[in-house]
Structure 1
Amino acid sequence: MNLLSLFGKRGASASVAKNRLQILLAHERADDGSDAALISGLREDILAVVAKRVDIDPDSVKLEMDRSGDVTTLGIDIELPAARAS
């Protein structure tokens, strides 16, 4: 009996984790000039995830990357629609 078979097959989370790691690796290898491509890809991924739960305007998703020394920060601003009255 295979020990891995006890835990079942790898699900979609493995694929998502792989994609996230690829994004992080691309970021680490990127020059300062390629931040635009990284931000564009992250914006599309985040938009797809949020749109699964909330109806949002694609133009309402703003991302900003700031590099300061060895630290990179990613700011995400998403304008959510107003709550509906019941």
Structure 2
Amino acid sequence: MISGAPKYVMIAFFALGVLFVGFSLWALFLTDITQEQFLEDPRFEEEYVKYYEWNILFGTTLIGIGWVVAFLGRKMTRK
């Protein structure tokens, strides 16, 4: 195994997950969507919220994978 690889893989997963979660939270709570879009298509708001909720879940999963890689990498390097 490459020395230090689990640390860099963990950092990559963690950073990508934080990017997904941060962007999705920004899009859901800090941006202003024009109300005309919601009035034109009643399902738009539902689909918009659902999309970013799934992005948050995906980002959280990436963060979790990063921590698992870091944990397993530490276990493997101690042997």
Superposition TM-score tier, normalisation by shorter sequence: 0.3 to 0.5
| TM-score normalised per structure 1 | 0.33
Greater relative contact order (Cα < 8 A, sep 6+): 2
Q: Normalized per residue, which structure has more strand? A: 1
| TM-score normalised per structure 2 | 0.36
